[in-house]
Chain A
Amino acid sequence: MPSSDATTLDASLASTLRAWNRRLHFYLGLYFLFFIWLFALTGLLINHHEWKFAEFWPNRKVANTEQAIQLPAAETNLAKARDVMRQLSLTGEIQWVTTRPDPNRFDFRVARPGTNIEVQVDLKTARAKLQRTELNSWGILHTLHTFTGVRIGDAQNQRDWLLTTLWALAMDAVAAGLSVMVLSSLAMWWVLPGKKLGGALALAAGTIMCGWFLVGLRLIAS
């Protein structure tokens, strides 16, 4: 009875795969739960500027200080900025925001979620002006959603802080985890008895609506 054995083996393998697929679905969901909640809720906040309770920019705290530094001797701008940051005890992601460079100035921003520090180094007097902007908890949440250190179309800025890289990796991992959860849910639904029609209708409704925005609008508005 080799064919019967093979069938039993196939059924057993399929059952094991189904069980692990189900486990994978909720293991990923549980591990990424707090990340998913953060990105979902902050996405909502970002899209609802009118929600007064979550206002952060008008409530920001700004402090200005100034201190003497030793002029950085490094060759690259990144190394110079790191030298200045070390002297000023600053940590964070370096952002280059100056559009019109002045040969007597060395300016950059140090950013971390909830805090931005504009650093303006006067290369003639060897003094650094610091403008520190602190945001409230809503501002921190808002920034966490978008804190990648890079922007599409902005070649000037690259990730330069280890923690930004780790946070970016976490964002990648959440995106990959959610994608796997979607695929595993499709596999689970497909073998569920009595749910094919309802599931197909729900999936089709979502796909048509989403597809309309992704592709349909472009085709119709041509």
Chain B
Amino acid sequence: MAARAPPRKSQRPVIQRLYALLRDLHLYFGLFVSPFVLVFAVSVVFLVHAWLPKPGAAPAKRTVTDITLPADFESLKGPAQLAAAHAVLAHLGVQGEIGFVRQLPRERRFVFPVSVPGRETTVDLNVAQRTATLSTRTTGLWDATVYLHKMPGPHNVAIRGNAAFMRVWRWLADATVYLLLFVSLSGVYLWAVLKTERRIGLVLLAAGAATFGGLVYALV
């Protein structure tokens, strides 16, 4: 019996230390990720109800003439085309992620939207005339939450991340998921050690699982 006692005593602090560490990490990671969670949560309401407050200002239009274009601009494809388009955008003073590139070969035109969260600029590039018509619309804070929620997303994956901010956001969106998973798992552990709350917690966990399972079963 005497031989068994010391390991028990030495184990207790380890468990307590683990509990304290998990509690601290749950707190700090949770606080860090909370603004991102709010962005995703708020935008869910707009996406689920297909509604957004209308932007106040009308699009601002301007035309830039005598723009410099690479000689082979029209024949470029993929990353080379995007790089050339970004070089043109820099000349035009427009920054952001190119959503897609629509080429109108007969008219020798390219149309592409360029976005940062909360603003979209549609660029209409006329290669023959070497002009660009820019239509800039401030879409606002709520639209910015929706844009960030949907990015990088499953569409136009070959060109997604053509702006530096989108590559960083892709990383942050992933980090939000990983931290949310950690916070939820550590939260379950922190609840499980509370003996007085186990019964009601289990009831809620089971109710949530039943709601989730029932809905998914019915939908699929």
- B34 is an interface residue with CB less than 8 A from chain A: yes
**Contact assessment for A218 and B188 in the assembled complex, using a CB-CB cutoff below 8 Å:** no
**Contact assessment for B204 and A175 in the assembled complex, using a CB-CB cutoff below 8 Å:** no
**Contact assessment for B216 and A40 in the assembled complex, using a CB-CB cutoff below 8 Å:** no
**Contact assessment for B157 and A49 in the assembled complex, using a CB-CB cutoff below 8 Å:** yes
- The 8 A CB mask of B202-220 against A (1 = contact, 0 = none) is 0011011101110110111
Residues of the B chain whose Cβ atoms lie less than 8 Å from the Cβ of A172? 44-45, 48
- Judged by DSSP, the binding face of A is helix
- A68 is an interface residue with CB less than 8 A from chain B: no
**Contact assessment for B157 and A185 in the assembled complex, using a CB-CB cutoff below 8 Å:** no
Q: In the complex, which range does the number of interface residues on chain A fall in? A: 35 or more
Kindly list the 8 A-B residue pairs having the minimum CB-CB distance in the complex, ordered from nearest. Answer: A150-B50, A210-B35, A175-B44, A31-B208, A221-B95, A34-B212, A206-B32, A175-B41
- B191 is an interface residue with CB less than 8 A from chain A: yes
- Judged by DSSP, the binding face of B is helix
The answer to whether A47 and B36 touch (CB under 8 A), given A34-B209, A140-B220, is no
- A189 is an interface residue with CB less than 8 A from chain B: yes
- B177 is an interface residue with CB less than 8 A from chain A: yes
Count chain B residues whose beta carbon lies closer than 8 angstroms to a beta carbon of A: 73
Q: Which residues of B contact A (CB under 8 A)?
A: 24, 27-42, 44-52, 94-96, 116-119, 138, 141, 144-146, 148, 152-154, 157, 165, 169-170, 172-174, 177, 180-181, 184, 187-188, 190-191, 197, 200-201, 204-205, 207-209, 211-213, 215-216, 218-220
**Contact assessment for B34 and A185 in the assembled complex, using a CB-CB cutoff below 8 Å:** yes
